[in-house]
Amino acid sequence: MTLDLVIRNKCFGGWQQQWDHYSDVLNCTMRFAVFLPPQVEEGDPVPVLYWLSGLTCTDENFMQKSGAQRIAAELGMAIVAPDTSPRGADVPDDPNQDYDLGLGAGFYVNATEPPWNQHYQMYDYIADELPSLIESQFPVTQQRAIAGHSMGGHGALVIALRNPQRYSSVSAFSPISHPSDCPWGQKAFAHYLGPDDGINWQQYDACELLALSTPHLPVLIDQGTADQFLSEQLKPGALLKAAEQAGYPISLRMQPDYDHSYYFIASFIEEHLRFHARWFDH
Q: Which of 84, 7, 86 lies closest to 53, judged by CA?
A: 84
> How many C-beta atoms lie closer than 10 Å to residue 263's C-beta?
11
Q: What is the pLDDT along the chain (282 residues), one digit of tens a residue?
A: 789 999 999 999 999 999 999 999 999 999 999 999 999 988 889 999 999 999 999 999 999 999 999 999 999 999 999 999 999 999 999 999 999 999 999 999 999 999 999 999 999 999 999 999 999 999 999 999 999 999 999 999 999 999 999 999 999 999 999 999 999 999 999 999 999 988 899 999 999 999 888 889 999 999 999 999 999 999 999 999 999 999 999 999 999 999 999 999 999 999 999 999 999 976
How many domains in the chain? 1
pLDDT at 38: 97
Exposure string for 203-218, b = 16+ CB within 10 A, e = fewer = bbbbbbbbeebeeebb
Q: Which residues belong to the active site? A: 150, 227, 260
Q: Residue 45 belongs to what domain range?
A: 3-278
Per the DSSP assignment, residues forming a β-bridge with 51 are 147
pLDDT at 198: 83
Q: Rounded to whole angstroms, what are the CA distances from 3 to 23, 44, 176, 192?
A: 11, 22, 32, 29
Separation of alpha carbons 69 and 127, rounded Å: 23
Residue 207's identity, in one-letter code, is C
CATH number at residue 223: 3.40.50.1820
DSSP per residue over 15-53, as a string?
Answer: EEEEEEEEETTTTEEEEEEEEE-GGGGGT--EEEEEEE-
pLDDT at 213: 83
pLDDT at 214: 84
pLDDT at 282: 62
